[in-house]
Structure 1
Amino acid sequence: MSTDLFASFNEQYMNINTKLKKRFMRKPNISEATNEFIALAIQCEHSEQPAFAGHAYVGAAKCEATAGNALGEAEYYIAAARQFMKAEKKLVSLKFSSPDRENLEAAIGCYLQALTKYPEKSLLRTSILMEIADHLIDLNHKSEAVGYYQQALEDMEEKTMKIVHLRNLVNLLIDCDKFEVALDTANSMIDSYTGIPEDILAEIQTSRVLLTLLVEPLEDSKPESLKQLFTSIMNDCETDMFPINVELRLKLQSLMLSLALGAAPPALGDLTRRQADLVDRLNVAR
């Protein structure tokens, strides 16, 4: 923000706060102050100054808190969080480093403030946690995003939505090189849910095979479903729990045999990017 714009923002922000503090013989007009903060935020947005817009929305949120309007407070904290995130992404796009992560920390803090205003197991809480995670992924803070993703899943109750996001969590864990946790999550997903859509089931089962070959868990620690999966591949058994084409089944079988014999893993097709990366890891490990 130019010096003039900065001075203008500072002056307007301080003027609104001064009005709130001047009580005299009556209570301050909270509604008026809220509207003025919002107007200032919109002005900053139009001036492409998201960080200042974020501060103005925080001012509006605090006014709503004073008025006892929890939902309004949450709404403006979320608006502030989105502006702070926009400011952080703007810095990243310009390749400016932000070691103290001022805008990012402000955004997360505002999201978490909003989170406290909604009841547990609320879809709005889940939505906020997922939004934080998605922003962190966009900013390449994937390991940090995992925790928020896991919290969101704890509050998620709708089965189909949870299955989709569990698949996404497995992929995120693979991206973060958290292979053991990814395998445990995939195992739990298969053992906890029936009626998983065929495309998701095929992807997760294939990832389970590759993760198991990479992690090499102790035999006693493998769930029965994982043992059965390997048995069905090695014995060419048809099963609804592994709905992949014959060609990929044979290639996975060949992969398992080559690794058992100490040979180089064969090339596999029909894999996602993450699964192909796991095969590359196997090549390096062997």
Structure 2
Amino acid sequence: MAKKALVPLLVASAWAEIQDCLVSGWGYTDSWHKELNGGYVHNAETCQETCKGMWFCDVFTYHTDTKKCFLQGNQAVESVMPNVISGPKTCAATSLSEALRMVQASGVNAASQAQAEGKDYAQITNHSLVTVLKNGVSLGLSNVQKAQVAAEVIGQVSARRTTIDGNSVLPQILKGAKAAADWAGNYSKKVQAQQAMYAAGALAGDFSTAREETVQDRADYAVRMALDAADTVPGAGGLTTYEQLVIAAQEAALVTARAGGTKKEVYTAVATAMHKVAALYGKPADIQAEWSAIGEAAVAW
């Protein structure tokens, strides 16, 4: 693969269903693996087992009507599909919150190790991303979740460098967002904008957590910073308003899930955050309700 190690493929659909591994009614499309490559199998579990045995397979899509099994990689994009069951290569043996924390920590530790070895910025970032993607697969994160953590780690590497200059939190978040967008430079403007929003939202959650704010406050801040990044980072204009709102909701879901939130708690926190931020932006009541509904749809299907 000639492009930098990254999973920034735009996923404008819902975030992975909380605490469930296999999802019905949603599937993946992979431009690199279009042909049937997993054969005809009896059920989704068998398709997943087939995926485990293939080095390139990160996710799979099983068609319940035709019994076709498609094995797909980290560039696969989710969308609504009838008569399918999809999922990651493996279901995490640990909780989602713990898996998210472990993958994020592994990326940060990899960056620290590379820095200690005298690597340059590009090498440090690439080493941390490879680690995130590898561990994300082994712990059963979805492609969306891996993309979110990957962008976060890029942003954290950049934010660490900014901290040395004594900058406040906001410049660190925006610089981290720009770093994530720049790292996705080989991809489309939409992908660059998505990565910027992922980084900004996740970093906002990190800083909010460090301040020991409530989980709801963390979700609110993640939504606000993700949307702000969409307005300030070059290339963000490639995203529609709806796509920006979905990505912002995904960030609120990430922050809440990492804090140990249940599926219901994630659902509630995201909807509340979207409503509150819409109100903060001065949107009328009907738009506030619309943003909240988009948030609900993005994480609860």
Task: Normalising by structure 1, report the TM-score.
Answer: 0.30
> Greater relative contact order: 1 or 2 (C-alpha under 8 angstroms, separation 6 or more)?
2
Which of the two has greater strand per residue? 2
Higher helix share: 1
Larger Cα Rg: Structure 1 or Structure 2? 1
Q: Name the TM-score, length of structure 2 as normaliser.
A: 0.29
